[in-house]
Structure 1
Amino acid sequence: MDQLQALLNGSLIRTKHVENAAAISVGERETVASTSGFHVGEGARAVRTQVPPENAINLIYAFYKNLLRVRKEGLYFKQKHYRCVRADEHSIYLRNADGGLVAVKTNSLILIATYRAGMHPSVCVEAVEKLGKTTTWTFSSAALANSFKNSSDKLPNPENLWN
């Protein structure tokens, strides 16, 4: 998990146009990594949780069953309503007066990034989409604890994403 969190920090937060980011496992329906200040989950993270777990499930549901409704009505996330800018089977772009949210679906994860007013949405979108294209590994919460400690599998180096 530390490597995935480092990847979120290195490839998204480093742009200075992403305020917070998280990765949600689609299969496990829980967060597997998040940047400081942005947590989606339960259990050990509950003390630090700033986003209700149902928001993570709503995003998963939006991609698999609810894209048309998201396009028409927008989406609530962290008790704020976001208007839909774009929604397809791979990504959802949402915004409100305070900023916006970009969600990108990979094979096993949904990558979420938020930006605030004053940040450039296009930079946030480009960074999350690019990370989504390079993020092709699969996670399960049971395997997550051991997958990077006991194997040679490594996450992509954030430095290589911008070359």
Structure 2
Amino acid sequence: MNQMQALLNDCLLRTKHVEHAAIINLKKGTVYASTFGFNLQPQSAVNLLYAFYKNLLQVRREGLYFKEKQYRCVRADEYSIYTKKQDGGLVAVKTKLYIVVGTYSEGMYPSVCVEAVEKLGNHCICMSV
């Protein structure tokens, strides 16, 4: 397990309100690290990049298609996207170098997921890995 995977586990999964998480490199559009079992395909990573850079209005209107599931938009701005579906949701936070993504499922508190992902995003701003 690399340092970033450990960070995802310690900062996000340990809350018990983040089901899966990943860190995507902005410049390369590749997954830098992810939690066990979160097999993020390259197209899903690219979809998040496009959502932030080209499609925020579309995300607000139509939602976000991620990992073969449609999510309804709750909030979308240049720094974060919050979405949900019937049995869970997704939070994505953009920093200078990365997009930090966390998902939650039924029975988890979305607000805790948001707080944890936002805090890790702020931490990533301060570090250069």
Q: How does 1:72-83 map to 2 (within 5 A)?
A: 72-83=61-72
> Which one has a bigger Cα radius of gyration?
1
Alignment-derived partner of residue 18 in structure 1: 18
Deviations 1:86-105 (A, max 9, x none): 00000000000020000000
| Residue 107 (structure 1) aligned with residue 118 (structure 2) | no
What is the TM-score with the length of structure 2 in the denominator? 0.96
Q: Give the 4+ runs in structure 1 shifted more than 3 A.
A: none
- Residue number in structure 2 paired with 1:84: 73
Query: Percent same amino acid at aligned positions?
Result: 62
Say yes or no: does 1:29 pair with 2:29. Answer: yes
What secondary structure does 2:23 align onto? strand
Measured on the aligned residues, the alpha-carbon RMSD in Å equals 1.1
- More strand per residue: 2
Give the AA of the match of 2:25. S
Aligned residue-pair number: 128
SS in 2 for 1:128: helix
**Aligned pairs for 1:96-135 within 5 A:** 96-135=85-124
Query: Partners in 1 of 2:124 and 2:39 — Cα distance?
Result: 20
How far apart in 2 are the matches of 1:55 and 1:6?
A: 22
SS, match of residue 45 in structure 2: helix
The structural deviation recorded for 1:138 is 4.1
1:55 pairs with 2:44: yes
The equivalent residue for 2:57 is 68
